[in-house]
């Protein structure tokens, strides 16, 4: 194990993460703020870290909760079985994400 190399790798990861951070302002219920402050106190982390990780986790959960709706369009065949396109909200979400990402960064 090379501790110095591990340290440098960690710094690189943190620097990359920091570049992607953006500040937003949100209004939340007072009771939710109390809970965020409590998590912060119990885990010894900044409230911003608690809030950001809770939001990121919630977004991931929301994405996976979107139901698949089978369309009649076969997009490929796997092991002899047709795979149908999703007619639900997931394709629209992915398309919106790409459009917004491109607008925010000027890239694809």
Q: Where are the domains of the chain?
A: 23-65, 66-108
Q: How confident is the model at residue 102 (pLDDT cuts 50, 70, 90)?
A: very high
Q: How high is the pLDDT of residue 14? A: 85
Decide if pLDDT at 105 tops 90.
Answer: no
Six token digits for residue 49 = 């870290």
Q: How high is the pLDDT of residue 1? A: 60
**Is-contact 47 37, C-beta < 8 A?**
yes
Q: Using CA atoms, how far apart are residues 47 and 42, in angstroms rounded to an integer?
A: 11
CA dihedral for 45, 49, 54, 60, sign (positive or negative) = negative
The conformation of residue 72, written as its DSSP 8-state character, comes to E
**Is-contact 68 86, C-beta < 8 A?**
yes
Decide if pLDDT at 29 tops 90.
Answer: yes
The conformation of residue 67, written as its DSSP 8-state character, comes to P
Segment 55-91, tens digit of pLDDT: 999 999 999 999 999 999 999 999 999 999 999 999 9
pTM above 0.85, yes or no: no
């Amino acid at each position: 194990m090379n501790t110095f190399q591990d340290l440098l790798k960690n710094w690189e990861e943190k620097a990359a993460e920091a570049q992607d951070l953006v500040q937003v302002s949100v209004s939340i219920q007072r009771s939710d703020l109390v809970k965020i402050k409590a998590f912060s106190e119990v885990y010894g982390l900044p409230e911003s870290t608690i809030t950001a990780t809770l939001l990121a986790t919630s977004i991931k959960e929301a994405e996976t909760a979107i139901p698949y709706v089978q369309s009649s369009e076969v997009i490929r065949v796997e092991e002899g079985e047709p795979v149908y396109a999703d007619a639900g909200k997931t394709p629209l979400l992915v398309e919106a994400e790409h459009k917004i990402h491109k607008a925010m960064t000027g890239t694809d």
